[in-house]
Amino acid sequence: MINLPRDISHEKNLSEIILEVENLRVSIETIDKRVEVLRGVNLKLKRGEVTAIVGESGSGKTTLAQAIIGVLDTPPVFIESGEIFFDGIKIFPSNEKINFRGQGINMVFQEPLVSLNPVYTIRKQLEESIEVQGLHMKKKEIEEELSKILSDLMIRDVDRVLNSYPHQLSGGMRQRVAIAMAMIQRPKLLILDEPTTGLDLIVQRKIIQLLLKLKKEFGTTLLIITHDLAVAANMADRMYVMYAGKIVESGTKDQVIKDPLHPYSKMLRDSVPSGYKDSGPLRVTEGNPPDISHLPSGCAFHPRCPLAMEICRKEEPTKKVIEDREVLCWLYDGKQNT
């Protein structure tokens, strides 16, 4: 087993890119066929940035996160091809087992009630995540560490929370505990799957503030998986838009939200109501997100696309680079910079 060096942040020649995913293809094997869920995904995360992946249900967001941290349900889901590099080390495919989870990459799953163990107290579970770091801390030090991280997370009655079982806590509190559990290991990259979905407004705002604070304080790189554009707009530096297992557009947050290139990004933005009642009907696109096992020919978005052309029905678009952004759409054929 190869262990990653514990702290290399003082090293100078640290590359700017912390995580790189190259041409990742993930499939689900069913009885009679093989369905591709991720169809060649490329991702580059810059150190210290917040990156958001947005998309509707079934677009493959969560599968991508699971593939990165290596917790895909294999079988039936498996990685067909592609490479994942973390901190300059190839973590997939790799013949050796690389110990990158925990202090390297950590993940907060969507439903904290499922990811917390119902029969242990929060204290026990948090202590465990300190112990696995192999630091041999004294009991008192562990206690101090716990109360520090929990008060960082703006939990006031630390003792009550530590002595509770997961079901005794509210949803927001559970989510904070799940974040604490991940942050306590000081990961370099933290993946959050729908970190605020299902939480109340005020709590959601708190969690967002908190994550941004943690990022600032510890320099953690965050990867946020969300379907909520507002969450992405308030947290992310860079955004990736996913549709039917492909990244259709990437760019900075402002580029994607204020001036989206891909018709799907435009549609997503226009679907979110923002005005009062008298602001007129929402611009909607008819149709449903595609069934990943019966994708249309050509560009997967063409049946819903208002600007679909002849070529969109026949051929899948290739990646176009426009200035510093990338878009997967025939509209920009010939407009890219060389």
Partner 1 sequence: MMGNKILEVKDLEVKFPVRSKLLASKEEKFKIVIEKVSFSIMEGETFGVVGETGSGKSTIAKTLVGINYPSAGEIYLMGRKINFNKKSDLIFLRRNVGIIFQDPVGSLNPKLRIFDIILEGLNFEEKYTKEEKRDKVYAVAKKVGLNESKLFSYPSELSGGEKQRVSLARAIISPKKILILDEPTSSLDVSIQAQILNLLQNLKEELNLTYIFITHDFNVIKYMCDRLGVLYYGRMLEISEVKDAYENPLHPYTKDLMNANITIEGNSGFESETELGEPARNGCIYLNSCRFKMDICNRDPPMIELNSRLVKCWLYDKSQKEDYIKVKGSN
- Positions touching partner 1 (CB under 8 A) are 56-57, 154, 156, 171, 200-206, 208-209, 212, 227-231, 233-235, 253, 257, 267-277, 279, 281-286, 288-289
Closer Cβ to partner 1, 113 or 137, answer by number:
113
CB of 59 to partner 1, least distance (A): 9
Work out how close the CB of 331 gets to partner 1 at its nearest, in angstroms, rounded to a whole number: 19
* Minimum distance, C-beta of residue 252 to partner 1, in the bound complex (Å): 12
Q: Of 40 and 58, which CB lies nearer to partner 1 in the complex structure?
A: 58
Question: Between residues 13 and 288, which has the closer beta carbon with respect to partner 1?
Answer: 288
Q: Which residues contact 215 (CB under 8 A, 6 or more apart)?
A: 48, 50, 221, 222
Q: CA dihedral in degrees (299, 301, 307, 310; nearest 10)?
A: 30
In whole angstroms, the minimum distance from the beta carbon of 52 to partner 1 comes to: 11
The DSSP symbol for 33 reads -
Question: Which CB atom, from 63 or from 125, has the smaller least distance to partner 1?
Answer: 63
Nearer to partner 1, 186 or 253 (CB): 253
Q: Which is nearer to partner 1, 1 or 201 (CB)?
A: 201
Q: Are strands 105-108 and 98-99 parallel, antiparallel or unpaired?
A: unpaired
Contact 271, 282 (CB under 8 A): yes
Strand 189-193 relative to strand 221-226: parallel, antiparallel, unpaired?
A: parallel
Q: Which is nearer to partner 1, 79 or 268 (CB)?
A: 268
CB of 130: closest distance to partner 1 in angstroms?
A: 27
Give one DSSP letter per residue of 281-331, joined into a string: ------S-PPPTTSPPSSSTTTTT-TT--HHHHHSPPPPEEETTEEE--GG
- The CB-of-81 to partner 1 minimum distance in angstroms stands at 29
Of the candidates 185, 176, 246, 244, the residue with the CA atom closest to the CA atom of residue 211? 176
Half-sphere exposure of 335 (CA within 13 A, CB side): 12
| Residue 197 and residue 229 in contact, taking contact as beta carbons nearer than 8 Å | no
Gap between the Cα atoms of 166 and 171, Å rounded: 9
CB of 273 to partner 1, least distance (A): 3
* Cβ count near 39 (within 10 Å): 20
